[in-house]
Chain A
């Protein structure tokens, strides 16, 4: 096999994996702390991409427009998520998982059509900021600067999440609530507020993923359908609720897809699913420890 092509595809797979990680880490965090399999997580990712497009195009050709979009879009998405959590989802925590799944599916259907109402069915695209346009030659391979940027953002988000969950009081409480929410409640902590915060973080990550992916792909109405199933499978092979599992799963998913493109282009999308199936047959509860 051509080594240059392999390196190039590996880098593409890695940068794709970074987007997948940011999205599925949010899903996993919500799944771990709130025990909510949030089906509309993918819709928030799509919303993030559309909001990023709007912000970037409103600000016009200015060099900083996409940077503003990357800051603003996740915040808008997080706010939308928080409103849904406080008004509707918070009333359903006592219900069984199937009801929560169906509820979040209902919200997904509503959000998808609201996005369609607001932005219409057209394909859209944004260009990366000038500083990240073009390509750099690394080890004899031309790599788009934006992909290198994603390769830096992914680990940064992972580090930020680690600091949040291991070094801040609120993050530690959230982790404790993931393991034993009754005990946390008994200690006099308002679990409801912890849940709201955790959901906010999860939604922020979905929006961030959407905003980050915007310059690399065409922004379409169907983009949520693919990402949410990928994110759920990643979270499952990583171990439900385990953020580092999400990282492992994302790498597996992104790399099998991009390298599969070299092996058998026509069936490239089959490889990640095959990898997931193989992992689950060997370790049904995921590679890393699940909090469930």
Chain B
């Protein structure tokens, strides 16, 4: 059960050249693309980082982080306030933002991890709504419902291309860090807790400490995304802390595919691009978003990357099984394993599906230790 991370190795992860080419293409964008697309690209990266940070607690940690947007808002306000109210340099503010958001994550998480599922989410929503209400009314500091606009930024950041390059590099590093966290022993333990908290407790893992650390880390990354949003837009407003935004981040994860590393980025990209183009033709964007969401839940509950991944695995294992003439349990991601994993509910299906044979041995070992 600790080997869940192994299944996520996308083909491209093994090819550094492909990554370098991708990085070069992303960084070269301002030189070749019109400003609107550069802006859109930066927004995709920011929202992608935000969705990926939610997925750390949601997809990998299995926690109902209902008000993740709060940490995004805290990060954004932290940067905006350090620049406009304290007069600190923006660079310091960008460092302060994830720290402030992580601190908020700790303050909120320390109470929430005592609870499970819906209660966890509801306590988080109430604490988040409290912060939203304060931001909405504390006019002298937060600007109230007007927010703060026209935040001045220093030299390289005050142009769109400068902001874009900074956002691209920062989100690139952040995605790398998230990848390392997910693949680390901590990430593996987190997924084990998601799949079976009781068993983890029994084998001596401090479940709450791991969950709290996940919330703090995710909040930090969300806060960084918030700061990057300020770099891009130069404004903050209380709706960044409002519950509707938090559910929209959920939709991004669902659309792209939770339980996959790349899913949230893909989902965020699709939502941002769709909104930008739909917004040109219609004022009924939420009608479109809602319809997409309902269709997804009925027809593709694993999201796009989950769906694609499943197809790829089925094809790979089907081919292997055909060559050997049997579809044994050791065929990685074999159809037989899919059935059992999916029966365990969506939370389990992410790891269970395609987990290699040693996973079962691990689980057996844990059970043996308990017995």
Contact = CB atoms under 8 A, between A and B. Distances in A.
Given A117-B284, A281-B111, A267 B134 contact: yes
A219 B285 CA distance: 21
Given A113-B286, A232-B125, A233-B129, A37 B118 contact: yes
Contacts of B254: 102
Given A97-B117, A102-B250, A116-B284, A269 B137 contact: yes
A273 B133 contact: yes
B138 to A, nearest CB: 8
A241 to B, nearest CB: 11
A233 B139 CA distance: 25
Nearest to A40: B290
B301 interface: yes
Instruction: Specify which of A101, A103, A109, A114 lies most central, judged by the most chain B CB atoms within 10 Å of its CB.
Output: A109
Contact of A106 (B133, B137, B297): B297
A109 B293 contact: yes
Interface residues of A, number: 44
B243 to A, nearest CB: 6
A109 B137 contact: no
Instruction: Specify which of B115, B117, B125, B139 lies most central, judged by the most chain A CB atoms within 10 Å of its CB.
Output: B125
A12 B84 CA distance: 39
B82 to A, nearest CB: 23
Contact of A240 (B114, B118, B123): B118
Interface residues of B, number: 44
A109 B291 CA distance: 8
B28 interface: no
Interface string A85-113: 00010011001111101110111111111
B244 A103 contact: no
Contacts of B114: 284
Contacts of A116: 283-284
Contact of B293 (A106, A267, A277): A106
A236 B122 contact: yes
Interface in A92-148: 92, 95-99, 101-103, 105-114, 116-117
A281 B293 CA distance: 33
Interface string A215-238: 000000000010001001100100
A114 B287 contact: yes
B64 interface: yes
Instruction: Specify which of B139, B285, B293 lies most central, judged by the most chain A CB atoms within 10 Å of its CB.
Output: B293
Interface of A: 37, 39, 88, 91-92, 95-99, 101-103, 105-114, 116-117, 225, 229, 232-233, 236, 240, 266-267, 269-270, 273-274, 276-277, 280-281, 284-285, 292
Given A103-B293, A113-B287, A269-B136, 11 more contacts: A95-B301, A97-B64, A101-B247, A106-B290, A109-B290, A110-B291, A225-B244, A233-B129, A236-B123, A266-B137, A276-B126
10 contacts: A96-B346, A96-B347, A102-B247, A102-B250, A102-B293, A106-B297, A109-B289, A233-B126, A273-B126, A285-B115
